[in-house]
Structures are given as structure tokens and as C-alpha cells.
Amino acid sequence: MNRFIAFVKKEFLHIFRDYRTMLILFIMPIVQILIFGFAITTEIKDASIAILDKSKDEVTRELTQKMLSSGYFKNDAYLTNESQIEPAFNDQRVKMVVVFEPEFSQNLQKTGTAHVQLVCDASDPNLARMLSQFADGIFTSYTTSSSVSMGIQPEVRMFYNEALEGVYMSIPGIMAMILMLVSAMMTSISITREKEFGSMEVLLISPLKPLQIILGKVTPYVLMALINAVSILALGYWVFGVPVKGSIVLLLIECLLFTILALSLGILISTVAKNQMVAMFMSMFALMLPVILLSGFIFPVENMPLPLRILSNIIPPKWFIIIVKTIMLKGGGLSYVWKETLILIGFVVLFVTLSVKKFKIRLQ
């Protein structure tokens, strides 16, 4: 029995001395519960909306103030005409536009009914549905609390996805997830495989420079990842009916850029990991949760607490999903996605630079 107790103590000491094991046992569950707890929410907080007030009377101003003071919405812009609605959506500025009809207050007093239009960006159908429901609830609350018998009739209009098809949201997200996970995972084990099989010596004594070795590792996977991207687009279009309203050439170029980004990230992981198992674990843990939770693929980033919203900015799939939705669903061109494109290019430069610096000139 004493031998068994001594053996157990030895195992405890072995665990406590290995910081990587401690990270897996204690830090990882805490991080996961915090991310899941804050990211998975159906609440609406400070969703960006725009107001198009054609009446500009006391009632419309009171309704606008009631919406903005509810905590669900924040005003991003005041529009002057309907032609500004779609550019506001394309610029990723707002998620919903509230349009008050002319003579809103007078119509309430004369006929007891006034109309307001809720124009939603339905490229994210779940968020669009929630926004319209919350706004409708505020109008109903105002009508109920009013001393005068009146009715406000919201008319909901969905841009880009009138039927609120969930696949319109899932196809861009699935594309980002597959390209990121598969591409990064494939390349993350490439250099570690060379280390384990002992073939790294051949590369080290070759005249190739570190950058050439890294590019040589990445190049074969670029074509395979592009085939995956084209397959997803084809299935989305022909099977699920997801439109491609913008330039297919621009979309493929953006897919190529994101593929290179994912591959360069995989190479960076492989230069840090000591073996294939560690590389695969790092790829899964470092990429799976952020892609699913913090990229806006499933849960709107706008609903998350400020620290997670800031953290989401360093998640490359977030920017790629915005690009894909803008091109596929909204028909936007490079003028609408140039900022997101530059961010992806910056990630590529960062990952390639770090990979070259981390690449070991000799085996350790």
C-alpha cells in the first residue's frame, strides 16, 4: 500500500511539474467555460441601426429615443432617403434601418394607425429575426402604455435573404471553418513529420533557404484547398441555392488569399510544435473554438462583451466571412471589402514572417 501511495505521489508531482499538462487540466476548462458562457447568447445588445425619419415629429422622436434607451440598439446613422439603405448595409455599418412614414403622428391621431418599416440585413437571418422582433416589442409596448388608442404597424423587409434561409449564413461560415481547419492542420504536421521521421537533416543540408522550404511546403496544399473552396461554392449554389451576386473572380481571389493565410498559420504552428500530436492538438484547440465562437459564424459578435469583441478582431475567419457575405449575398465589390482584404494580407505577412524566424537552422 505504501508503494502504491508513493507511486501516486510521483504521478502528482510529474503532472504539477509539466506546465503543458497543467494548462490542459486547469486553464483550458476555465477558458472554454468563459468563452462559451459569454459568446453563446441570444440576447441583443447595442445592435447598430440607422433611422430614416420622414416625419420628424414628436412621436417618432419619442419612439427613436425609446429604442435607443432600451439597451438593445444604438444609432449609427440618420439617413435621408431610401437610396442610402443598401450602401449602409454593404459598409457593414448597420444591421437594421427603421423607416418612419411621413406624417406619422398625424396618421396616428386621425386614423389610429401609423406604419413603420423595419429593413433588416438578413445575411445573418437569426440576427435579423431577433432585431425585428425586439423592435416590434418596443412598438407594442409604446402602444400599450399610450393613453390614446393607437396602433403602430411594423412592416418587416429582409434584404439579401427574404426567406431567412439559414444556409445563407452557414455556407460562408462553413467555408471559412473548412479552409482554416483543414489547411492549417495539413500544414501544421508537415515540418513536425520531417522532424519525427529524421528527414529534416536532408532539408538542412540543402541549399534551400528557410523561406524557400516553407513556401515549398505550402504550395502543394494551395491547389487542394482551392479545390475545397470551389466545391463548397458549387454545392452552395447548385444544391442549396445560395446566390453569388458579386464577382466570382474576386471571390476566388479572396478564397486564395484566405487559403494562403490558413496554410501560413499551419506552418507557423508546425515550426513551434515538437511532434505531430502537439501540432494537431494546437491546430484543433487554437482554431476550432475561435472559428466557431468568435468569428460571427454562429453567434453575432455584436452581442458579445467588449473583451470578446476585441479578441474577435484577431480571428482571421471573422474578416473572411464578412468578405464572402458581402460578395456572395450583397453583390459588393472590392470597394466594400478592401479593409477586410488588407487585414487578411497583414495576417499573411505576420504569419510568414514569424514562420521564417521560428524555423530552426539546425536541429535541437
Q: Look-up: residue for cell 514572417?
A: 353
Pair (171, 111) in one structural domain: no
Whether 237 is in a domain gets the answer yes
Residue 362: per-residue pLDDT: 43
CB distance 149 to 114 below 8 Å: no
Pair (229, 153) in one structural domain: no
Pair (142, 10) in one structural domain: no
Cβ atoms within 10 Å, residue 181: 19
Pair (82, 172) in one structural domain: no
Residue 352: per-residue pLDDT: 81
The model's pLDDT over 16-53, given as tens digits with 9 standing for 90+, comes to 666 655 665 666 666 666 665 555 566 677 788 899 98
Pair (219, 283) in one structural domain: yes
Residue 361: per-residue pLDDT: 47
Best CA proximity match to 97, nearest among 69, 111, 72, 76: 76
CATH number for position 59: 3.40.1710.10
Whether 343 is in a domain gets the answer yes
Quick one: DSSP state of residue 23?
Answer: I
Residue 249: per-residue pLDDT: 92
Bridge pairing between strands 113-121 and 96-100: antiparallel
The total domain count for the chain is 3
Q: What is the pTM of this model?
A: 0.81
Give the DSSP H/E element, type plus range, for residue 33: helix 28-39
The answer to whether the Cα torsion of 167, 172, 177, 182 is positive or negative is: positive
Residue 347: per-residue pLDDT: 93
Best CA proximity match to 320, nearest among 231, 267, 246, 255: 255
The model's pLDDT over 48-82, given as tens digits with 9 standing for 90+, comes to 889 998 988 888 898 889 888 888 888 887 888 88
Residue 216: per-residue pLDDT: 72
In sequence order, the 6+-apart residues with CB closer than 8 A to the CB of 293 are 35, 36, 39, 40, 299
Whether 363 is in a domain gets the answer no
Whether 364 is in a domain gets the answer no
**Containing structural domain, residue 107:** 47-159
Pair (218, 133) in one structural domain: no
Output Rg (C-alpha) for the chain, integer angstroms.
26
Pair (265, 182) in one structural domain: yes
Pair (67, 182) in one structural domain: no
CA angle 279, 267, 211 (to 5 degrees): 145
Pair (103, 188) in one structural domain: no
CB distance 51 to 75 below 8 Å: yes
Best CA proximity match to 97, nearest among 112, 77, 119, 128: 119
Kindly give the parts of the chain with pLDDT less than 50: 149, 361-364
Distance between CA atoms of residues 122 and 89, nearest Å? 10
Pair (147, 88) in one structural domain: yes
Cα separation of the two ends of the chain: 42
Exposed, middle or buried by CB within 10 Å (0-12, 13-18, 19+), for 271? buried
Residue 24: per-residue pLDDT: 59
Pair (225, 130) in one structural domain: no
Q: Is 185 helix (H, G, I), strand (E, B) or coil?
A: helix
Cβ atoms within 10 Å, residue 117: 17
Q: Look-up: residue for cell 506552418?
A: 267
Pair (285, 303) in one structural domain: yes
